Structure 1
Amino acid sequence: MSDSMNNESVGVKEEFTELDWITLKNDIGSEQMIHQETAGEKFQRKFKENPLVPIGCGLTAGALCFGLMSFSRGNRRTSQNMMRLRIAAQGFTIAALMVGIVKTSLK
């Protein structure tokens, strides 16, 4: 009888230790209010840190869309030029990312 009670009490202790992180999280949250950054705020912060990356992404997307429209209309020459521009814009974006990484690592 005492063995079964000991096993049950051990199980209860293990259950409490598994759920301790919940009370810890609640305690931390109640002491200080942590500001959760919205998607718009994060975009603004990242744009201020390295504005060339979103610009490069926009150029890439624009060249892709215009190139696909030209392709669907049968304008092969413009479509080919837009796909080449898209590759150049992707290269620009990758270069901007690398510059941002180096800049951040030097801080």
Structure 2
Amino acid sequence: MATSGSVTLEAPFESSKPPVIEGNPEGFKERFLRKARENTVVPIGCLGTAAALTKGLYCFHQGNSQCLQLKMHAWIAAQGFTIAAILLGLASRP
């Protein structure tokens, strides 16, 4: 069961550098921008989700439970919108 020889563990990627995709001439930034242009609704949904969560956390910090409840509902709705945008984007691909 055990094999002889030494095993070296290497990190699969460096977190300080963007990932390198083999066989793809475009970089991470170019690919991200291209994907965002192909389906513009997904980044909007992601920003809406992040905004609702941030505002909800602020309301939590302030102790405003009514505002917190409203923002958490908005957060879940924004997540649903984002998932629907992703699925519709995948379904509309040729």
TM-score (norm 1): 0.63
Two-structure CA RMSD over aligned residues (Å) = 1.3
1:10-66 Cα distance to aligned partner (Å, 9 max, x none): xxxxxxxxxxxxxxxxxxxxxxxx663222211210111100111101100110011
Is 1:68 the counterpart of 2:57? The answer is yes
Amino acid at match of 1:49: E
Aligned to 1:56, which of 45, 52, 73? Answer: 45
Matched residue SS, 1:70: helix
Q: Find the counterpart in structure 2 of residue 21 from structure 1.
A: none
Question: What is the CA–CA distance in structure 2 between the aligned matches of 1:62 and 1:80, rounded to whole Å?
Answer: 15
Unaligned runs of 5+ residues in structure 1 are: 1-33
1:81-105 Cα distance to aligned partner (Å, 9 max, x none): 110000000000011011111111x
Question: What is the CA–CA distance in structure 1 between the aligned matches of 2:54 and 2:47, rounded to whole Å?
Answer: 11
Is 1:77 the counterpart of 2:63? The answer is no
Q: Identity percentage over the alignment?
A: 47
TM-score (norm 2): 0.71
Q: Find the counterpart in structure 2 of residue 18 from structure 1.
A: none
Report the CA distance shift for 1:35/1:87 in structure 2 as closer, same or farther (over 3 A): closer
Aligned length: 72
Question: What is the CA–CA distance in structure 1 between the aligned matches of 2:36 and 2:52, rounded to whole Å?
Answer: 21
Unaligned runs of 5+ residues in structure 2 are: 1-22
Asked which structure has the greater CA Rg, the reply is 1
Question: What is the CA–CA distance in structure 1 between the aligned matches of 2:84 and 2:65, rounded to whole Å?
Answer: 29
Matched residue SS, 1:36: coil
